[in-house]
Amino acid sequence: MVQRDTVSLTDQQQLVRDSIRDICADFDDAYWREHEAAGEYPQEFVDQLSENGWFGALIPEEYDGAGMSTEEVVVMMEEIAANGGGFSAAQAIHGGIYNSVPLVKYGHEEMKADLLPKVARGETSIQAFGLTEPNAGSDSTSIETTAERDGDEFVVNGQKIWISRVDASDYIVLMARTTPKSEVEKRTQGMTMFLVNLEDAYDQGALQIEQIEKTASNLVHSYEMWFEDLRLEEDAVIGEEGEGFYQMLDGLNEERLVIAAECVGLGEAALEAGVDYASEREVFGNPIGQNQAIQHPLAEAYARVQAAKQMVYTAASAVENDANPKAIGARANMSKFLAADAAFDAADAAVQTHGGFGVAREYDVERYFREARLTRLVPITQQLVLNYVGENVLGLPRSY
Q: Note the residues at the interface with ligand FAD (CB under 6 A).
A: 129-132, 137-138, 162-164, 214, 217, 222, 377-381, 383-384, 387, 399-400
**Cα-flanking dihedrals φ and ψ of residue 226, to 5°?**
-120, 125
For the CB of residue 397, give the shortest distance to ligand FAD in the complex, in Å: 12
Q: Which is nearer to ligand FAD, 166 or 342 (CB)?
A: 166
Radius of gyration of the chain (CA): 21
What Å distances lie between residue 256 and 124, 249, 340, CA to CA?
A: 24, 11, 11
Q: Which is nearer to ligand FAD, 2 or 374 (CB)?
A: 374
**The dihedral formed by the CA atoms of 261, 262, 267 and 271, expressed in degrees to the nearest 10:** 100
Q: Which is nearer to ligand FAD, 160 or 331 (CB)?
A: 160
For the CB of residue 163, give the shortest distance to ligand FAD in the complex, in Å: 5
Cα distance between residue 380 and residue 132, in whole Å: 11
Q: Which is nearer to ligand FAD, 213 or 322 (CB)?
A: 213
Q: What is the 3-state secondary structure (H, E, C) of 3-64?
A: CCCCCCCCHHHHHHHHHHHHHHCCCCHHHHHHHHHHCCCCHHHHHHHHHCCHHHCCCCHHHC
For the CB of residue 394, give the shortest distance to ligand FAD in the complex, in Å: 15
Q: Which is nearer to ligand FAD, 253 or 353 (CB)?
A: 253
Beta strands in 253-383 (DSSP E): 282-283, 286-287
Q: What is the three-class DSSP state of 212?
A: coil
For the CB of residue 194, give the shortest distance to ligand FAD in the complex, in Å: 14
For the CB of residue 132, give the shortest distance to ligand FAD in the complex, in Å: 3
Tell me which residue of 339, 276, 333 sits closest to 309, measured CA to CA: 339
Q: Which is nearer to ligand FAD, 33 or 376 (CB)?
A: 376
For the CB of residue 225, give the shortest distance to ligand FAD in the complex, in Å: 10
Of all residues in the shown chain, the one whose CB is closest to ligand FAD is 137
